[in-house]
Chain A
């Protein structure tokens, strides 16, 4: 029973265009969502997050949108750069102090010159 799903295993985008990565979740108790970026042979690094009380959070080229009614969030990267090529993981945390994260399977983003 996978609670966080990233249905696109890979995405290819031209440099300078917008990259949109999607994530769906099933557990309505999730109240905080995060995006992580992972390069090969490295651990994931935090990118951006959003609380369930918001519907948008922006940080430079990265924007995360949350649609609670659809249980869907997306990460927008604009403009896309070659250094953005990596695997992106969506993660969610339920209410409470446990701070445990549930991860999606990841989407491999490739930015083409």
Chain B
């Protein structure tokens, strides 16, 4: 059973604020990912990590930053939120050595609204 958690689930915040979206997984997966999704659109990869102290930018340019100092934790930070950051943010993880290495397990998402 996949156990990956995201907090907060919903966030409404004013322009210019700094925010951190939390993502934790209890499966010991090495790989973790952040996606951004707008309604009716595809998921876009914005960050990924192969393991502790490893972070890479994804295919969609993002002003957010990530860190990976513990295997289970992969937070995403926006230093100064803007209305263009309004979107749903989905965190996922995968097990490189597992039976289904391409399968990513997703958290419930954080719906961010910047006013």
Contacts and interface: CB of A to CB of B under 8 A. Distances in A.
Given A2-B42, A42-B109, A49-B100, 4 more contacts: A4-B42, A99-B94, A100-B58, A106-B40
B89 to A, nearest CB: 10
Contacts of B48: 100
A101 B4 CA distance: 18
B106 A99 contact: no
B51 interface: no
Contacts, number: 64
B108 A105 contact: no
- Measured as residues with beta carbon below 8 angstroms from the partner, the interface class of chain A is 20 to 34
Interface in A35-71: 36, 41-46, 49
Interface of A: 2, 4, 9, 32, 34, 36, 41-46, 49, 89, 93, 97, 99-106
Nearest to B104: A101
- Measured as residues with beta carbon below 8 angstroms from the partner, the interface class of chain B is 20 to 34
Interface of B: 4, 6, 9, 31, 33, 35, 40-45, 48, 58-59, 90, 92, 94, 96, 100-109, 111
B42 A32 contact: no
Given A41-B108, A43-B108, A34 B90 contact: no
A93 to B, nearest CB: 5
A32 B101 CA distance: 10
Contacts of B108: 41-43
Contact of B42 (A41, A93, A97, A103): A103
